[in-house]
Amino acid sequence: MLQPPPLRSLPRYPVTATIAAASLAVTAAWWLGQDLQGIVMNGRVWTRWELWRALTTILPHVNVFHLAFNLYWLWALGTVVERVYGHFRFAAIVILLALTSSLAEFALLSGGVGLSGVGYGLWGLLWVLDRYDPRFAGAMDQQTSQMFIAWFLLCIVLTVTHIMPVANIAHGVGALTGALLGLAVSRKGKIRLLSLAGLAATLILGVAGATVFWPRINLSKYAQSEVERAGVDALDRSDNAKAARLLEIAARMRRAPAYSWYNLGIAYQRLGRFDDALAAFEHAAEMPGADSDFRKAATELRKYVDARKGRL
C-alpha cells in the first residue's frame, strides 16, 4: 500500500497542507452548527452561475470517517504530485479536479461535499503517470488501485441500497479527469490531442449541465423545488417575464405539484396572457393536492375571460 510522507515534512507541501487545514476548519465549523449554504452546491449555481461553489464544496465533510479518509489520500497522493509538478501546477490540478467532479455530481443529482472527487482524480492521474512518466515510477501500486476500485463499487452499492448516499458521479468523473490529464501531460500526438479534447468536453459539459441544462437533466427531487423557488422569487420581484420562463420549466418537471401550475397561472395573468393563465389554473385545480384557492382562481378567471371575449 502506498505510504504517505511523514507529517514533519508538511512545510514542503504548502498547497496540500492548506487544503487539508481548510477542510479541517470548515468541517469543524459545520459540525459546530455553522450554516454552510453559502459555499456548497445549491440552486445558486444554476440561477446565478456561482461556479466557484464547485471549489468550496470540497472542504466540508459529513463525519469523522469521511474527513479522515479523504485527508489521508489527499496527503498520500497530493504530496507526490506537488513534489514533482510544484505548488502552482498542483493547485491548478486540484482546481480542475474539483470543478469537473463537483459540477458533474450537481448536474445530475443534488451535489455533494468533501474531497472524494479530488482524491479519485489524483488516483486516476497517478495511475496513468506511473506508467508513462519516469518521475512517477512506483507512485501507484496495485493494492492501492484495487482499494480505490473496490471502494468505488461499494459506494455504488451503498447508494443504490439506500444505506448511505455517496457522490459516486463525483468519484467517477474525478477519476476520469485525472486519467485524461495524465494522458495529456505524458503522451504525445493523437493520444494527447484526444485527451485534451476529453478534458475540455468534461469541463464544458459539467458547466452546461450545472447551469443551462440543469433543470432538464437533473434527476433529484431537489431540482424541481429549486426551479420553483427561483420562479416565485422572480414573481416577488415583479419580474413576471422571467417568472413565467422559470415556472414553465418547473411545472413540467418530474414531481411538479399542483401549486407549480398555480404559480405559473399567476405569472401568465400578470403578463396579460389570460388564456394561458386559465389553462394553468384549471390544470392546477385538477391535480392531486389542489386546494380551494386553485379552483377559485380558475372559476374567477374563466368568468373574466368569457366576459372579455363577449365584449370583443
The per-residue pLDDT for range 170-214, each reduced to its tens digit, is: 999 999 999 999 999 999 999 999 999 999 999 999 999 999 999
Q: Supply 156's cell numbers.
A: 455504488
Q: Which domains are assigned to the chain?
A: 7-217 (1.20.1540.10), 221-311 (1.25.40.10)
> What distance in Å separates the CA atoms of residue 300 and residue 22, rounded to the nearest whole number?
57
Q: What pLDDT score was predicted for residue 56?
A: 97
Task: For the chain, list residues with pLDDT below 50.
Answer: 312
Q: What's the angle, vertex CA 241, arms to CA 301 and CA 312, rounded to 5?
A: 40
Q: pTM of the predicted model, to two decimals?
A: 0.89
DSSP 272: T
- Residue 311: per-residue pLDDT: 58
Q: Residue type for 120, please? A: Y
The stretches of the chain forming alpha helices (DSSP H) are: 14-31, 43-48, 53-56, 64-85, 87-108, 116-132, 142-160, 168-186, 189-210, 214-217, 221-236, 240-251, 258-270, 274-286, 292-311
pLDDT of residue 213: 94
Long-range contacts (CB closer than 8 Å, 24 or more residues apart) made by 228-237: 228/256, 228/260, 228/263, 229/43, 230/43, 230/46, 230/47, 231/263, 231/264, 231/267, 232/263, 235/263, 235/266, 235/267, 235/270
CB 170 within 8 A of CB 104: yes
Residue 174: partners with Cβ closer than 8 Å, 6 or more residues away: 97, 100, 101, 116, 117, 118, 119, 120, 121, 124
- Please state, rounded to an integer, the average pLDDT across all residues of the chain: 93
